[in-house]
Amino acid sequence: MSQTIQAVRGMNDILPDEAEAWEQFEELIRDWLSAYGYRPIRMPIVEPTPLFKRAIGEVTDIVEKEMYSFEDALNGELLTLRPEGTASCVRAAIQHKMLFAGPQRLYYHGPMYRHERPQKGRYRQFHQVGVEALGFEGPDVDAEHILMCARLWDDLGLEDISLELNSLGSSEERARHREALIAYLERHQEALDEDGRRRLYTNPLRILDTKNPALQALVEAAPRLVDYLGEDSLRHFEGVQVVLKDAGIPFRINPRLVRGLDYYNRTVFEWVTTRLGAQGTICAGGRYDGLIEQLGGRPAPAAGFAMGVERILALWQESGGEPERVAPEVYVVHSGEAAGRLAFRAAEALRGHGFATVLHCGGGSFKSQMKKADASGAPFALVIGDDEAAAGEVTLKPMRGGEQRRVSLDELAPALAEQLFAVDGDDGGL
């Protein structure tokens, strides 16, 4: 026998029990997003590599070492599996001149790809729900995003989540802070680690985000961006905080929150939990006023965020969120050729009336078929044997006790609706 082939490391199969929870989550997400007026957009999974280099920044972990990039074997074009959705969403908005129709509230969800070291909560294929508000300038939309998240955590019953907030100011303010930061780090160059020395002139802000314990004291004492923010940036930041306070959403200002993508300015935020171990950031985002212009669009402000679906679902489960089991309403068992043909007709008739119906396939004794019916979780079995087939009738059998009933095909749907109503107060869709 040849060796079995396994999935790519860090890329997971989502098996039916789990996939049903995903679908319930996706349904909930759709309602939540439309409650805030966000509309769906779907972008390709593969984009030209320069899109991500320009948007995310050349000197970022993602672009330097995590992108799945390859050359199109047919025309030599450099392509990349998307590591995130903001760049693609902005590209699509520019390409289709969406902002000519006014500001846009958009969302997307789907797989993203980063060649990271896999561990619990960190995968090479993972999924995001991303939200982007293009063409909005004020702090109101930043606050709206945070309020939206808070409502979702509440709807899902998630526990132990906290909000970290910072402002990265404008590019001019960051430039002045950068100068001061480089001067400070130059004075302490011998204390920096390899990553720090490499980033000293390319991305010194990221050094502040280091996890290296040996650098913590150095980083603590470094010039703080907040001291370089001008009046407009401070007012914007204040505007966000006012809404959060009004809404009663607790937050912590974390001056070292800088984010791993270069396009951000002003408000940035992360939702973190202590319940998931090292990969505790479940959702993150902020404002990116320069990105649309940087990607060739007419200058327009924007803000957004994305959540990691695997992490949210893990936390949902941790917090006791039980997704409902999805079961059919009827399982059809049958024996004999004529019964098999009638079973097809009966099952289709039921589906035509909106009942979720599983037709037993593959034969077997009535006893073994009834075991399958039981395992399916369906509240009713439809039993069709020689007798029923000869009379053109079917037997409707409640699986959890109660009288069985023999009915004609025409009577079947109303009879089932009536019995389902008796079981769970549902009107059976009729």
Contacts with ligand HAM, residue ranges (CB under 6 A): 84-86, 114, 116, 122-123, 126, 128, 130, 132, 260-261, 281-286, 288, 304-308, 310-311
Residues 400 and 424 sit within 8 Å (Cβ to Cβ): no
3-state secondary structure of 381: strand
311, containing H or E segment: helix 309-318
Residue with tokens 């991500």: 52
Phi/psi at 376 (5° precision): -70, -20
- Residue number with CB closer to ligand HAM (306 or 359): 306
Residue with tokens 């010039």: 223
Minimum Å gap between C-beta 213 and ligand HAM is 23
Minimum Å gap between C-beta 124 and ligand HAM is 7
Minimum Å gap between C-beta 271 and ligand HAM is 8
Minimum Å gap between C-beta 411 and ligand HAM is 52
Angle ∠(33,270,189) on CA atoms, nearest 5: 150
- Residue number with CB closer to ligand HAM (204 or 285): 285
Minimum Å gap between C-beta 98 and ligand HAM is 16
Residues 259 and 86 sit within 8 Å (Cβ to Cβ): no
Minimum Å gap between C-beta 86 and ligand HAM is 4
275, containing H or E segment: none
383, two tokens: 């039993």
Classify residue 198 as exposed, middle or buried by CB count within 10 Å of its CB (0-12, 13-18, 19+). middle
Find the length of the chain: 430
- Residue number with CB closer to ligand HAM (288 or 380): 288
- Residue number with CB closer to ligand HAM (269 or 380): 269
- Residue number with CB closer to ligand HAM (88 or 335): 88
Q: CA 404 to CA 382: how far, in whole Å?
A: 10
Minimum Å gap between C-beta 36 and ligand HAM is 15
Minimum Å gap between C-beta 295 and ligand HAM is 14
CA dist list (Å): 421 to 91, 426, 430: 51, 4, 10
Minimum Å gap between C-beta 52 and ligand HAM is 11
280, two tokens: 């505790």
Q: CA 262 to CA 206: how far, in whole Å?
A: 10
CA dist list (Å): 377 to 60, 278, 356: 50, 38, 12
- Residue number with CB closer to ligand HAM (145 or 360): 145
N-terminal to C-terminal alpha carbon distance within the chain: 53
192, two tokens: 């920096």
List 332's β-bridge partners, or say none: 359, 382
Minimum Å gap between C-beta 115 and ligand HAM is 9
- Residue number with CB closer to ligand HAM (24 or 281): 281
Crossing angle, helix 231-246 and helix 139-156, to 10 degrees?
Answer: 30
- Residue number with CB closer to ligand HAM (91 or 360): 91
- Residue number with CB closer to ligand HAM (19 or 183): 19
Chain residue at closest Cβ approach to ligand HAM: 308
- Residue number with CB closer to ligand HAM (148 or 349): 148
* Contacts with 19 (C-beta within 8 Å, 6 or more apart), sequence order: none
